[in-house]
Amino acid sequence: MKAISFQAIYVLWLREMKRTWRAKSRVIGSLVMPLFFLVFMGAGFRKATLPGMPAGVNYMTFLIPGIVGMTLLFGSMFGGLQVLWDKEFGFLKEIMVTPVTRLSIVLGRMAGGSTSALIQGFMILILSTFLGFRIPGITGLLVCVAFMLLITFTFIGLGLAFASKMKDMHGFQLVMNFVVFPIFFLSGALFPIQELPGFIKPLIYIDPLTYGIDGMRGALMGSSAFPVWLDFAVLSSICIVIVSIGSILFETTEVGQ
């Protein structure tokens, strides 16, 4: 059995970083929709009191962890689904024939995709301070970063799983419309999950992003729907399962088409 190549992981990570740096318009474009949500929804409902909102918390403060989660979700899924671009242009086939384990390739792609998504998430968090949001002490920030990492790994793994089984780019929009958007809207990013109808709640409880956003709210606001330790335990378990599935499916993917 071949060992993991840390050099290969670094090369793939560096490639993603260079691609992100060169595609500044893509990074800026990925921040436009989250900022629209923050500015228009946050400002429009700033003084609104929604059922289930924590006492003493305005809507802008409540919304910011949800928008950070949205940014990480879209960035991570896009990072995972970039395998499709590599299939289309032959890069994936080239690295598959090298004497490098597929696990090294998976880890390299995950490292690059997660770093890129985290940069976008941190940019939203920093920009939110100009809208009046206050980042808490170092402990809260570190807990928030831990949840951000779990979110990125989870959805890069999910993106890899889909990309490994998709033949071409035609299925990309289907994944975005029927997987990514429902995950976002069911996560409680925009509203408290406690007030949603009972028949929707089972879908909320199986949504990984629910626990990521709730954990970030607990870290940044000091108030969450579930205990922060429970959010961390559930999201960690889901992350391990999804990353494992994504890795296994990537191991069996075909690149000769």
pLDDT at 256 > cutoff 70: no
* Sequence-ordered alpha helix ranges (H) in the chain: 6-22, 24-36, 43-44, 59-88, 91-96, 102-128, 138-165, 172-175, 181-185, 201-205, 208-221, 228-251
Is the entire prediction scored with pTM above 0.85? yes
Which of 48-52, 176-180, 252-256 is predicted with the least confidence, judged by mean pLDDT? Answer: 252-256
Q: What is the pLDDT of residues 84-135, one digit of tens each?
A: 777 766 666 677 666 677 777 788 888 888 888 898 899 999 888 888 788 8
Kindly indicate the confidence band of residue 1, based on its pLDDT and cuts at 50, 70 and 90: very low
- The Cβ of residue 235 has, within 10 Å, a number of other Cβ atoms equal to 24
Could you report the per-residue pLDDT of 40-51, keeping only the tens digit for each?
887 777 766 677
Q: Are 8 and 99 in contact (CB under 8 A)?
A: no
Express each pLDDT in 28-39 by its tens digit: 777 888 888 888
